[in-house]
Structure 1
């Protein structure tokens, strides 16, 4: 059903001085305007995830602090052979992890378990450097003039809330080194950012889909936002954000993740056909996670602000389900 969402147009702090959610922070933005002034230890989560799709490879890298641990990773999929390279690291108490309070500013750095990631953000874009055994990633992600991203604060309550920035369809260039082979990243490639800061419930499930083609991108989410009055759904046409204020129904087969997915709601008629499934599991006693991230192609259509329908045929990206106890 439709939501009634407030657009925020001025800078705002995420939290009040006592650490509770500032009601003025609840809403959505077209560019990062929130300062994530999280306080204290316990239930606080901070992460930067970059997903990069090229004609030959898919690259995923995550730097995160979950308070009790840093969970970092570097992943590469060869789209032709389906060969995967995956390196994951768990660092107790997230030692050495550093994250800036604003998306698009400052540097995030993590290291541990053979994985090193540095994300340097500046007015012109983002520089990404990541290394793990047998893998080197060096990328530049320019920020085009007028490019918009979706920022949303999801309020579960005064002490449980999440700020996310989903930036889809960014240009990217650089290099990927796998062993002795170097691959150039540029033509036909795009990058997606998931910037997260917040204080989460112990158990949560989410869906996320992102896809891009020249001049067109889509960002869709579900489950974790249900009942909050806000969504993280948007269409991007030539870099401009068209906010989708409808909660969506996600239909997929948890016994066969490679079957087509359907994502639908008011103004959204999307089908996603996977070509590869990536499974990630982390078990640390009382906490753990399981994610099924499927890479594939989108078809269907989404209605823009002016009522016209945008055809999604040809978009490439991913759809996922994540289940977390954290």
Structure 2
């Protein structure tokens, strides 16, 4: 495709069959609400990036994210093993994104976050993505994620002046090895999901989100990405993968109790492809209120039950499928 941002400083909006090779954000004609250009260090500092990767199986959940807000970077890792009811989370902040490396090429390059002896690396190559995690003597992850199936690539307006590009994929095959507290995790039973996002986002925003990567009892591989409250100007970032085939979805709806996010959620799409109940098993919460930057973040992991419909409106049952939901307010 042509440059993501053209010679006039304008962004290419829409859903792409093949995503951009590079997000050339510094070529964007960024302006304030009164049309005054924003340039130099202010332009660089307003550009946000994050990448989230999840691994799920019948007995294991791992979520890891690197977030670069320029003023600060954040990385978190959490693990939950059902058979032992073991939950462990790690989270770090780095002022001015110290020891944090991100790039603007969704399909190539490396992201890194280091603090002390802890190191997280996400590396993309054509058709695959690698995840390396080394956390003291507790967790070692070296896996390769096969990204040969189509991804969801979309760019939407964000507020009056901005935009958000996001690349999503789910139910991806995993190979490699994981050591967790002295035990070896069977990676052949795992499926991965990837969320790569960046842009000049709304100063204040929120979203509800769901992700599912699962093989059901009939052998169907189902991946799901749903979001509401963000990136819905003209286009949505909602998609369903069934046996490697991608189906673009319309808007999503999330019904849940904000005072008790551990109560069941109802998750659906307006085109009737999705009708699911999500029952939480655990949650990762974080509240940051640093004045000009704030975050009220809750990511809940648990089980999905219900059904999805394929492109021919055939019903596929979902039972006891591990996945994620999220409720997030951000000021950045």
Task: Kindly indicate whether residue 140 of structure 2 is the aligned counterpart of residue 153 of structure 1.
Answer: no
Cα deviations by residue, 1:110-132 (Å, 9 ceiling, x for unpaired): 22355321122222412211123
Alignment of 1:185-224 (within 5 A): 185-214=186-215, 215-224=221-230
Match of 1:7 in 2: none
For the structure 1 residues 21 and 67, does the alpha-carbon distance in structure 2 shift closer, same or farther, using more than 3 Å as the test? farther
For the structure 1 residues 222 and 254, does the alpha-carbon distance in structure 2 shift closer, same or farther, using more than 3 Å as the test? same
Residue 21 of structure 1 contacts residue 161 of structure 1 at CA under 8 Å; is this kept in 2? no
Task: Kindly indicate whether residue 252 of structure 2 is the aligned counterpart of residue 248 of structure 1.
Answer: yes
- CA apart distance, 1:12: 4.0
C-alpha RMSD of the superposition: 2.2
CA distance in 2, matches of 1:316, 1:117: 23
Higher relative CO (Cα under 8 Å, sequence separation at least 6) belongs to: 1
Match of 1:175 in 2: 177
- CA apart distance, 1:51: 1.0
Match of 1:306 in 2: 312
CA distance in 2, matches of 1:288, 1:114: 28
Alignment of 1:51-70 (within 5 A): 51-70=54-73
- CA apart distance, 1:30: 4.5
CA distance in 1, matches of 2:76, 2:14: 30
Q: Which has the higher mean CA deviation after the structures are superposed, 108-117 or 217-226? A: 108-117
CA distance in 2, matches of 1:31, 1:68: 31
Task: Kindly indicate whether residue 226 of structure 2 is the aligned counterpart of residue 236 of structure 1.
Answer: no
Alignment of 1:271-290 (within 5 A): 271-290=277-296
Aligned partner (choices 310, 322, 326) of residue 328 of structure 2: 322
For the structure 1 residues 323 and 81, does the alpha-carbon distance in structure 2 shift closer, same or farther, using more than 3 Å as the test? farther
Residue 89 of structure 1 contacts residue 114 of structure 1 at CA under 8 Å; is this kept in 2? no
SS in 1 for 2:178: strand
- CA apart distance, 1:197: 1.2
Residue 214 of structure 2 contacts residue 321 of structure 2 at CA under 8 Å; is this kept in 1? yes
- CA apart distance, 1:35: 2.0
Q: Which has the higher mean CA deviation after the structures are superposed, 126-135 or 300-309? A: 300-309
Residue 145 of structure 2 contacts residue 192 of structure 2 at CA under 8 Å; is this kept in 1? no
Match of 2:185 in 1: 184
SS in 2 for 1:95: coil
- CA apart distance, 1:258: 1.8
Aligned partner (choices 136, 141, 152) of residue 139 of structure 2: 136
Q: Which has the higher mean CA deviation after the structures are superposed, 77-86 or 41-50? A: 77-86
For the structure 1 residues 274 and 253, does the alpha-carbon distance in structure 2 shift closer, same or farther, using more than 3 Å as the test? same
CA distance in 2, matches of 1:144, 1:195: 13
Match of 1:35 in 2: 22
Match of 1:13 in 2: 3
Residue 141 of structure 1 contacts residue 191 of structure 1 at CA under 8 Å; is this kept in 2? no
CA distance in 2, matches of 1:307, 1:54: 27
Match of 1:263 in 2: 267
For the structure 1 residues 82 and 12, does the alpha-carbon distance in structure 2 shift closer, same or farther, using more than 3 Å as the test? farther
For the structure 1 residues 291 and 64, does the alpha-carbon distance in structure 2 shift closer, same or farther, using more than 3 Å as the test? same
Task: Kindly indicate whether residue 131 of structure 2 is the aligned counterpart of residue 95 of structure 1.
Answer: no
CA distance in 1, matches of 2:187, 2:256: 33
- CA apart distance, 1:169: 0.7
Alignment of 1:71-86 (within 5 A): 71-86=74-89
Runs of 5+ consecutive residues of structure 1 not aligned to the other structure: 1-10
- CA apart distance, 1:290: 1.9
Q: TM-score, normalised by structure 2?
A: 0.85
CA distance in 2, matches of 1:111, 1:170: 26
Residue 122 of structure 2 contacts residue 130 of structure 2 at CA under 8 Å; is this kept in 1? yes
